[in-house]
Amino acid sequence: MIEGTYDALELTLSDWEILFEALGEPKFRASQVCQWIYSKKEFNYHSMSNLSKTLREKLSNNILMSLPIMLRQQVSKDGTKKYLWSLNDGAKIESVILNHGGHKTACISSQAGCPLGCIFCRTGANGFKRNLTRGEILGQFLMMEKINGADINNVVFMGMGEPLLNEDNVFSAIRSLNDKRMRNLGARHITISTSGIVPGIKDLADFEIPIRLSLSLHAPNDELRSKLMPVNKNYPLQSLLYALRRYRERTGERITIEYALIDRVNDSPEYAYETAALLDGLEPYINLIPFNPIPSRPDLQRSEQSRIKAFCNALTELKIEFELRKERGTDIMAACGQLAGSQQ
């Protein structure tokens, strides 16, 4: 017998195996249940037809299926979908599905709010509540697949919060997404986006699953970056670049650099040259993001097209590979930096 109650999405495959042993059931039942949950998105034990009726009743009585409650779905004119979820304690988070035609990407939150306070981000302006559990992280993904009736091909931890400040739960969720007996999502289809948490980047370099790394840079020197991103005061560029090089050497994976272009703040060609010099030897892929306006900072505006073009021209001249990100979801506040976890 098992004592107490458990939450299904908080259980790893090993946890499931231990529970089934306690119930006097063979270990392979663990894989069967995980296939129902993670592959078939079936959250009702009574519908798991290859389990005995007695076992289904035991699961229903002892293992909760706690899922985020969808409060609202918004659909952008470009097909982007944003979801507002309520968690068990009333905390609210948002996550997004980007539709790229042939494939879909889920933008997942790792925290309710964010403690970092980057000046261009709506999430940080609303403060920090708490870390999400592994089950709350997985629940967003599974519920979006369930609601849309289709598999999601890629996951980016680029929603609300800093994933490397919730490393244990994020890594645990990634293990379940990647496990062939659970969701079976390939490592190259999973990306962590960080504001530059150096210890977390070092741990990611040693993580057993070779997932991809994206860094929010947004400025090529400590003075400007610290003004835009207070986290830079704790992890300045010299220590950050050391961690990035270590990740690159350990994994062989190319790093994506995110750079939001804010009008007359960080968008001059001089900053493009400085960025190239800073990243020399990393062979990065730079993702340029026209700044997405947020209500808390009306003084910050998207760069004019002429300034964006000049910045791009400078990178082209320096033979730096980059892409100017296509705007998605701005009309429903679903773009980069716009998530807030509120009903407003």
Active site residues: 94, 336
Distance in angstroms (rounded) separating the CA atoms of residues 261 and 278: 17
Q: 285: exposed, middle or buried (C-beta count within 10 Å: 0-12, 13-18, 19+)? A: middle
Alpha-carbon distances, residue 344 vs 78, 102, 149, 260, 341 (angstroms)? 21, 32, 27, 24, 9
Alpha-carbon distances, residue 182 vs 10, 13, 47, 175, 307 (angstroms)? 13, 8, 18, 9, 47
**Closest Cα to residue 275, out of 315, 224, 232, 226?**
315
Distance in angstroms (rounded) separating the CA atoms of residues 16 and 155: 24
- Chain centroid to Cα 213, Å, comes to 11
- Please say whether the beta carbons of 333 and 339 come within 8 A: yes
Tokens of 148: 């849309």
**Do the strands 104-107 and 111-113 form a parallel or antiparallel pair, or are they unpaired?**
unpaired
Distance in angstroms (rounded) separating the CA atoms of residues 206 and 246: 10
The sign of the dihedral angle between the CA atoms of 177, 97, 65, 173 is positive
**Nearest-5° Cα angle at 246, 242 to 250:** 175
**Do the strands 63-64 and 6-7 form a parallel or antiparallel pair, or are they unpaired?**
parallel
Query: What is the chain's alpha carbon radius of gyration, rounded to the nearest angstrom?
Result: 21
Tokens of 2: 């098992």
